[in-house]
Amino acid sequence: MVADYDLTRAERTVAAVAQRRPGDSRFSAAQVDASSAEAVTALARQVGAEVVFNAVDPRFVLPIFEGALAAGAGYLDMAMSLSRPHPSEPHALTGLKLGDDQFARASAWEESGQLALLGIGVEPGLSDVFARYAADHLFSQITELGTRDGANLAVHDADGNKIFAPGFSIWTVIEECLNPPVVFEKGRGWFTLPPFSEPEVFDFPEGIGPVECVHVEHEEVLLMPRWLEADRVTFKYGLGEQFISILRTLHELGLDRTDLVTVKGVQVSPRDVVAACLPDPASIGPQMTGKTCAGVWVTGTGKDGQPRQTYLYHVVDNADSMRDYGAQCVVWQTAINPIVAMELLATGVWTGVGVLGPEAFDAVPFLELLAAPKPSGYGSPWGMEDR
């Protein structure tokens, strides 16, 4: 069951599936208000859902999360419940952290016997699986788990001119890039820094090359330390100078705000206006070229007792994802991972109850299924570089 507030969007998705898979009648569409836990519960009960998969932006995490719990269904998402900065020292201390509202409900999920698997996109998600693999198989001691995300993507208009068009929701981009980024250090715990702190140039594989990366608030830093031992956990994103400049301008103009303002008698959210003015990330695939890379740079001591630095990564070329799936690479790379996870859960390879992250599960079956040739797997290899 594909559900959306706008029924026509859900119906378009189902129609696209039918076009790709003639005769497959398993998919249907429904209307649902994802801001209402009661509505989510009612629909999940109506269709007998075993799992509710949340693929909308983080504003709706909590009602979908609570709606699935009330329906007695499992739950997966690709982004966790929103944070709130510390009221007086936002660039030093954490306030409400990403996922805190969900982890606070862990006992209720445990009592229900159901699993809420948080952050199972690509970042968070595959990056966390990589971290678990490194901890189990490559390192005896980890100095830093550093998620590093970069790309050489470009989007062009009909005349071939390069345009500004984020590869995923600008609403989410603004949220994670302008919030105080979180860092974890052993003995200190979680703390925050100013946005865009500690720039570094990271060399991404498979022809992407060097990209300047900066600290960004992201779920990996809140997930990995709950299950994995590391002296430091970070997330840095390769935004680029233009992107950072645009985000700073939006902030200075107040266009990153989510509270309503009155414009000619109509109340609107400035951030929603920005999102409405930019191209839909789901539609820009044919105009996009380049590759995107998600991965974890791990430093520390290898299993042999020697110093080790290893980057575990997954690269997707937009030309490949468009050719094979009709989806642009950022969207496809995010979407494939919950599908792999759901298969592992459905077959009983992964099991659990409560509120868990990807690090709580054995990484090997996931990575094998992701990389295995079709039809036994998903035909999307991952890589590993010692540096």
Name the β-bridge partners of 354: 115
Q: Is the pTM of this model over 0.85?
A: yes
pLDDT number for residue 213: 93
Integer CA distances (angstroms), 31 to 3, 5, 10, 54, 140, in order: 5, 5, 8, 14, 50
- What pLDDT is recorded for position 286? 82
Report the percent of the chain where pLDDT is more than 90.
76
Sign (positive/negative) of CA torsion 84, 90, 94, 95? negative
pLDDT tens per residue, range 67-86: 999 999 999 999 999 999 99
Write b or e for each residue in 292-326: b if 16 or more Cβ atoms lie within 10 A of its Cβ, otherwise e: bbbbbbbbbebeeeeebebbbbbbbebeebbeeee
**DSSP 3-state assignment of 161?**
coil
| Per-residue pLDDT tens over the stretch 160-177 | 888 777 766 777 778 777
As a whole number of angstroms, the distance between CA 332 and CA 122 comes to: 9
Helices 270-277/170-178 angle, 10° precision: 130
pLDDT of residue 129: 98
Q: How far apart are CA 56 and CA 3, in angstroms?
A: 10
Decide if 94 contacts 191 (C-beta within 8 A).
yes
pLDDT under 50: residue ranges of the chain = none
DSSP string, 309-330: EEEEEEEEEHHHHHHHHSS-HH
Helix (H) or strand (E) holding 42: helix 37-47
Between CA 34 and CA 57 the distance in angstroms is 10
Give the C-alpha distances (Å, rounded to integers) separating 126 from 267, 324, 382.
39, 21, 10
| Domains detected in the chain | 78-386 (3.30.360.10)
Contact 338, 76 (CB under 8 A): yes
- Residues 2-21 have pLDDT tens digits of 999 999 999 999 999 999 88
pLDDT of 178 reads 83
